[in-house]
Amino acid sequence: MKQLYINTYASALVGAINASVTVLVVASAAGMPVLAAGEFFLLTLVGFDANGNEVRWEIVKVTARSGATLTIERNQELSGAYVWPDGTLIEARFTAGTAAEFLKRGDFGIGSPALVNGMLSTLNDLTLSAGLYGYGGSTPGAPNGLPGIVQVLPYSSAAVRQIARPVSGSSDVVSVFERQLRAGPVYGDWAFGHTSASQFSLGATKVTALEALGISDLPARVEALESSSGGAGQEVTNLGAVATSAAQTVELNIGEGRFFSASMDAANATGALTLNFTSVPVSATEVTTWHVELLRGGRKTVAFQLDGAALTPVWSGGGAPTLNNATGSRDLLMFYRMPGRSSIYAMLVDSGVA
């Protein structure tokens, strides 16, 4: 669902409500947006003590509105569901859950010097440790002569793959280029993969991927990293060849690693590969993310578990992606858990053939 926002709204409850009703009436609906299907906004009911101090709050989700009559969902963000008297103050307030939905500095390694290995002075024929690196538009070897980020992914003991994501400052469209080690420190030419405009279908508004993620200022962030010092990149946990004989369950301990790579190049055609995520942190304030790279992941059915119990991730776009089966193919999946939520969300970050 898409959250809408209201500035400086305050009104009063018309009529008392108990702790279970899902419809309420407010004295004024001035400033409230018109809700389309799948849209909502949050309001907070506020209770006071005899001295006028705020002592109780309930956050409600407004999912439909007819004039001043609101259809609501109670106890949002575990704020509780209470009995409220006529005249109760109801306001639009900023909440912790709303803040958690925004992409912040450091999420997914973007914009955080601690997770980016520094700025590159050239992209021509160099080997790098696994991680994320920034580069400017004038950096030699920069694809399309645009600033961006290059991600280094080891995929065998003898070679590495580099994925560059240059960003056009004028259109906020991310293009994806890829190359791999050819001989010694020499790479092949950058091969164009796709752009965010072709990878995302976001409705009639044609919102770009960066705008949808809230990082349309990515070019400026890359430029800001020019003076940053390097830090440690993500360590890759190489699971090697999996499901080579039949069905197999592989444990991915999220408490010990956040980037996993597995190959099904030699996988048996029968049975399923089950990825069992263990030790996934549950935080009230932080997003937990991890990545899984599957080489030829389409050769078998891939299932998921959370601490040994069957797991159906909430996939971006509504359904699980179709994984590649071609020789040399790979799919990069990202999984994440939002603060205070039990659901595991997932999306296909990148896909192609080397």
- Nearest CA to 101 out of 182, 254, 268, 214 is that of 214
pLDDT greater at residue 223 or residue 101 = 101
CB 101, CB 212: distance < 8 Å: no
* Euclidean distance between CA atoms 194 and 214, whole angstroms: 20
| pLDDT over threshold 80, residue 157 | no
Write the Ramachandran bin of 279: left for phi over 0, alpha for psi from -120 to 50, otherwise beta.
left
What distance in Å separates the CA atoms of residue 161 and residue 323, rounded to the nearest whole number? 19
**Cβ-based neighbours of 30, under 8 Å, separated by 6 or more:** none
Confidence category of residue 81, pLDDT binned at 50, 70, 90: very high
Please list the alpha-helical segments (H only) found in 171-298. 196-199, 209-213, 218-224
Instruction: Tell me the pLDDT tens digit for each residue of 184-241.
Output: 667 777 877 666 554 443 333 434 444 555 555 555 555 554 444 444 456 788 988 8
Q: Is the pLDDT of residue 322 over 50?
A: yes
Contact 173, 195 (CB under 8 A): yes
- Binned at pLDDT 50, 70 and 90, residue 35 comes out as very high
Q: Which helix (H) or strand (E) holds 266?
A: none
Structure confidence at residue 70 as a pLDDT band (50, 70, 90): very high
Highest mean pLDDT among 81-95, 157-171, 203-217: 81-95
User: Which structure tokens are listed for 94?
Assistant: 């900023």
Number of Cβ within 10 Å of residue 159's Cβ equals 14
* Residue-wise pLDDT tens digits, 267-293: 776 778 999 999 988 877 888 889 999
Q: What is the pLDDT of residue 108?
A: 44
Q: What pLDDT is recorded for position 276? A: 95
Flag whether pLDDT at 93 surpasses 70.
yes
Sequence letter at residue 264: M
Measured distance CA(194)–CA(166) in Å, rounded: 11
For residue 107, pLDDT over 80 is answered with: no
Residue 99: which of 171, 5, 218 has the closest Cα? 5
Q: CA nearest 167: which of 130, 227, 210, 228?
A: 210
Instruction: Decide if pLDDT at 111 tops 50.
Output: no
How far apart CA 219 and CA 199 sit, in angstroms, is 20
- The dihedral built from the CA positions of residue 138, 114, 334 and 153, taken in this order, carries a sign that is positive
C-alpha span between 334 and 353 (Å, rounded): 18
Helical H segments across the chain, by residue range? 96-101, 196-199, 209-213, 218-224
Interatomic CA distance for residues 82 and 96, integer angstroms: 20
pLDDT at residue 5 is higher than 60: yes
Question: Could you read off the pLDDT of 302-314 as tens digits, one per residue?
Answer: 999 999 999 999 9
For residue 47, pLDDT beyond 90: yes
- The pLDDT confidence band at residue 73, using thresholds 50, 70 and 90, is very high
pTM: predicted TM-score of the whole model, two decimal places? 0.38
Three-state secondary-structure class, residue 124: coil
The confidence band for 123, taking pLDDT boundaries of 50, 70 and 90, is confident
Q: At CA 278, angle to CA 277 and CA 282, rounded to 5? A: 105
Look at the chain and count its residues: 354
Q: How many CA atoms, within 13 angstroms, populate the side-chain half-sphere of residue 7?
A: 0
| Greater pLDDT, 123 or 106 | 123
258 within 8 A of 236, measured Cβ to Cβ: no
Q: Which residue has the higher pLDDT, 299 or 27?
A: 27
Mean pLDDT, rounded, for 68-88: 93
- Residue 335 pLDDT more than 90? yes
pLDDT at 351: 86
